[in-house]
Structure 1
């Protein structure tokens, strides 16, 4: 029998003494356990999540290439250009706010009902945008789209984590985030041509069709993944999966606490005695609410905000926010920049080819190479993986982020070649996808007390904080210049990346300090 090596709290044993990868969390013998779903059932969940996320984020982030169209239309209503930009920035803000609303809904009523409600709201809001008659109607419906899209930042990643093992999640999330970038960029390639040929309303009508198809896919393929997974013993340690889908391997006082709870809980139905749900039962659109509904919601919010006491979580949030804000901010300017280089308005959408290359590049680096690197580091450490291993992988994206912003800034004003801003955008997308994958993976591990809320806090808050970055970029460009504005942004991003050095050293000490406190509480 292979024994697990004792690990420090917050670390995880991914590779055992024989060199085999551990399958965590441990699947139960219950046929309805999401980890025991058939291949087609898991595929249905994955396709549903990816389709929903791609279409929703394409809608939220797809206006950059056609903003000049809205400058002309709403300028006649007396709306300033800075206000028109709200059509692109405010939805991103409300994606973050929606995360804090949709996730508790999924925790209380189930993942499937929350997903159905979210995509139905997105479908209705997109129809509303297509038929809107003035700027304020349009803006209000764009905000509603952002709220519904909040599911992509919290609920959908949670569902994916609940049907996969820990060692698979780096690749799965890499595919999830990268396909968002790649397919969204492909869809938005045609945006400017579509608007020039058919009018701006067809930007929305096309997505009405796509989101409608997604609604059908979710109804028939997005199964409930909420599952009350019992703590399980594995060679003297306890494997626990929380309601946010995050798995921990516990030892010491916390393991003893779970051991006592398991011994006391002997009245439930054995897993192997449960019957497999039929397909029609799995299509049930509602779930059984948890007991103490408001307590569950309030505690979820409390644990999310409590996570920011961790230096690692603060760092992951700042980093993801800065890079996302930079990406959104640049997307608000490339329409004007490329037209100043002589690009016709209908061709501006071609810059999204950079997003395609960037998405693949980020997935290969952070997803494929990242998994190899993490497993290699774990083997070198006796099979033990520490969260801080992921910070090493942020060095390369940090260099790319600073370089891409400087390249874009110093070529955006003209006098050079359109290849400068084009390549700046492409390189930034490689960095963006890489940072998104690694920062969220780090967040799920950096705070062992409640890793699920910590992950939800990072992915949701990054949209709120990044709003400030993107919202302030256009006025800064107008007041100073592209080189100055992008130089300031590059400096901010570079400084945040460098904070990873003290976090690499200090966060393990902070985790040990928290563990000592928890151990003392458990002994009282």
Structure 2
């Protein structure tokens, strides 16, 4: 029972479990006849690389540090733009609803609701295309679509046209970033990079308001949309030059994390069947690669030639099958509530602070998000030492064996900060306390907890289902956006009828309830991963035909 996690005795090796350092790993040599020196390590020589990279120079795990970091920088900027375009107009919902001559609830539904529901549809279709032909073509197409739709929204003449532009934006806002993180970063490096992904999204959400609020108040929403379109043009250039294809058919690498054997060898084709154990003889032996490195010019091609042989329709159905995994089901619950509550806050800020006793202007309503951005930055800086640090510490105490469940203790920060923040937010607004209390203290707590919590959820899914991470995040985004879309139907009326305290006390209670499910997930998570593998829960649709 490794540190409270119930062990599994039905598989030789549970997928997801892996050696993270050499402490206590003599079993690799004694039990399997494998020389531990065959395993590749980080530059310090102390941490085993999980997953094990191949010997090919084109394997994304073997990219240079500079190339990986630039890829991540573009991720952060792109996520910021995508995060910003959603709530860009929310500080001005009240005056814009009057300008277009529609009720606030209908404007919210048409402007944000249409965007949110199309994200759900886009997450499935774009994921299918990404699995079939690689992620780079999808990144290029969706970034171009976002630029065009922003310029369209800036020139609309009617509310219907604005809703149409927002629908296109939503379809193109689908994110494949968590799967891309798993494509290029090792387990011990993913916590901080997942936090960067979240910072981009949350930073965009939180900074869109302060910036767009002032632009809209002193200019117009059209100027804000034109500027957003320009930001995506820059993003398109960054994707072209600094985001090569990260999907890769890996062959010859030692598989120490996704098989039911302690060590297997990856095949060329992507397969979800149990791999056969291949004995590797000889001390110090390594698999040589004759694959020539791709030139920078070759990497600029819109499509790398990557192709997955699984049928299109089976690929489309994959996300709905992956939800059968208890890990993905739990992650969907937490991810949905984490992000949807932030959407709820963003679409009610104008309603709350534009009214008495605060009477904020459009720019002042937008500025309320500054504290949320600061909290997200703090959460990002803390995520690396906390999330990755906890994993390394617990792995050492577990005789050098990493369990994905070691990501979950950090979820206690979600309970402490986010749940407390929601209760305090509702109470402070009910009592009409000075604006620094709800805006700085409460929103800061909420976003700090969400940043750490979602980073933990994202890395847990990547570590538990590395090969199915794209499908997992597709269904997570699909369900999250359907739930958020449902909120747009009633949230403004909910607050108007029941008041902010009752509304956010309910949200705070749901947050606590969702967190409690983390405890059984930590205890039984390893057995859940074993069950998924043993009963081939994912194979019927995920298996190639």
**Which position in structure 2 is the counterpart of 1:17?**
23
TM-score of the superposition, structure 1-length normalised?
A: 0.86
Note if 1:279 corresponds to 2:302: no
**Which position in structure 1 is the counterpart of 2:362?**
345
Change in 2 beyond 3 A, CA 1:234/1:329: closer
Note if 1:165 corresponds to 2:172: no
Question: What is the distance in 2 between the residues matched to 1:239 and 1:454?
Answer: 24
Change in 2 beyond 3 A, CA 1:73/1:322: same
**Which position in structure 2 is the counterpart of 1:300?**
315
Question: What is the distance in 2 between the residues matched to 1:55 and 1:406?
Answer: 30
Q: What secondary structure, in the 3-state scheme, does the structure 1 residue paired with 2:404 have?
A: coil
Question: What is the distance in 1 between the residues matched to 2:130 and 2:536?
Answer: 29
Q: What secondary structure, in the 3-state scheme, does the structure 2 residue paired with 1:393 have?
A: helix
Give per-residue Cα distances to partners, 1:77-130, cap 9 Å, x unaligned: xx2110111212332332232111112212222222111111011111111000
Question: What is the distance in 2 between the residues matched to 1:375 and 1:242?
Answer: 31
**Which position in structure 2 is the counterpart of 1:217?**
238
Please identify, of 498-507 and 65-74, the stretch whose mean Cα deviation from structure 2 is larger.
Answer: 498-507
**Which position in structure 1 is the counterpart of 2:8?**
none
Change in 2 beyond 3 A, CA 1:486/1:161: same
Query: 5 Å matches for 1:260-409?
Result: 272-288=289-305, 290=307, 292=309, 295-339=310-354, 340=356, 341-409=358-426
- Tell me by how many angstroms 1:136 deviates: 0.9
Question: What is the distance in 2 between the residues matched to 1:51 and 1:197?
Answer: 26
Question: What is the distance in 2 between the residues matched to 1:69 and 1:242?
Answer: 57
Change in 2 beyond 3 A, CA 1:141/1:396: same
Question: What is the distance in 2 between the residues matched to 1:481 and 1:190?
Answer: 28
- Tell me by how many angstroms 1:58 deviates: 0.6
Note if 1:181 corresponds to 2:202: yes
Question: What is the distance in 1 between the residues matched to 2:154 and 2:351?
Answer: 24
- Tell me by how many angstroms 1:146 deviates: 0.9
Is the Cα contact below 8 Å between 1:320 and 1:439 reproduced in 2?
A: yes
- Tell me by how many angstroms 1:205 deviates: 1.0
**Which position in structure 1 is the counterpart of 2:106?**
83
TM-score of the superposition, structure 2-length normalised?
A: 0.83
2:67 to 29, 33, 41: 41
Q: What secondary structure, in the 3-state scheme, does the structure 2 residue paired with 1:303 have?
A: helix
Query: 5 Å matches for 1:69-80?
Result: 69-75=95-101, 79-80=102-103
1:64 to 54, 78, 90: 90
Is the Cα contact below 8 Å between 1:175 and 1:367 reproduced in 2?
A: no
**Which position in structure 2 is the counterpart of 1:197?**
218
Give per-residue Cα distances to partners, 1:212-241, cap 9 Å, x unaligned: 111122222221222111153379612659
**Which position in structure 2 is the counterpart of 1:254?**
274
- Tell me by how many angstroms 1:158 deviates: 2.5
Please identify, of 127-136 and 472-481, the stretch whose mean Cα deviation from structure 2 is larger.
Answer: 472-481
Is the Cα contact below 8 Å between 1:125 and 1:141 reproduced in 2?
A: yes
**Which position in structure 2 is the counterpart of 1:462?**
480
Change in 2 beyond 3 A, CA 1:332/1:241: farther
Please identify, of 498-507 and 187-196, the stretch whose mean Cα deviation from structure 2 is larger.
Answer: 498-507
Question: What is the distance in 2 between the residues matched to 1:391 and 1:46?
Answer: 24
Question: What is the distance in 2 between the residues matched to 1:85 and 1:144?
Answer: 16
Question: What is the distance in 1 between the residues matched to 2:418 and 2:408?
Answer: 15
Q: What secondary structure, in the 3-state scheme, does the structure 1 residue paired with 2:399 have?
A: coil
- Tell me by how many angstroms 1:42 deviates: 2.8
**Which position in structure 2 is the counterpart of 1:144?**
168
RMSD of Structure 2 on Structure 1 (CA): 3.0
Change in 2 beyond 3 A, CA 1:222/1:304: same
Is the Cα contact below 8 Å between 1:328 and 1:470 reproduced in 2?
A: no
Q: What secondary structure, in the 3-state scheme, does the structure 2 residue paired with 1:391 have?
A: helix
Query: 5 Å matches for 1:116-135?
Result: 116-135=140-159
Give per-residue Cα distances to partners, 1:470-506, cap 9 Å, x unaligned: 5432221122111111111211221111122233333
**Which position in structure 1 is the counterpart of 2:509?**
491
Please, which runs of 5 or more residues in structure 2 have no aligned partner? 1-11, 25-44, 257-261, 282-286, 540-545
Q: What secondary structure, in the 3-state scheme, does the structure 1 residue paired with 2:173 have?
A: helix
Question: What is the distance in 1 between the residues matched to 2:118 and 2:149?
Answer: 14
Question: What is the distance in 1 between the residues matched to 2:329 and 2:267?
Answer: 23
Query: 5 Å matches for 1:414-493?
Result: 415-422=432-439, 423-447=441-465, 450-469=468-487, 471-493=489-511
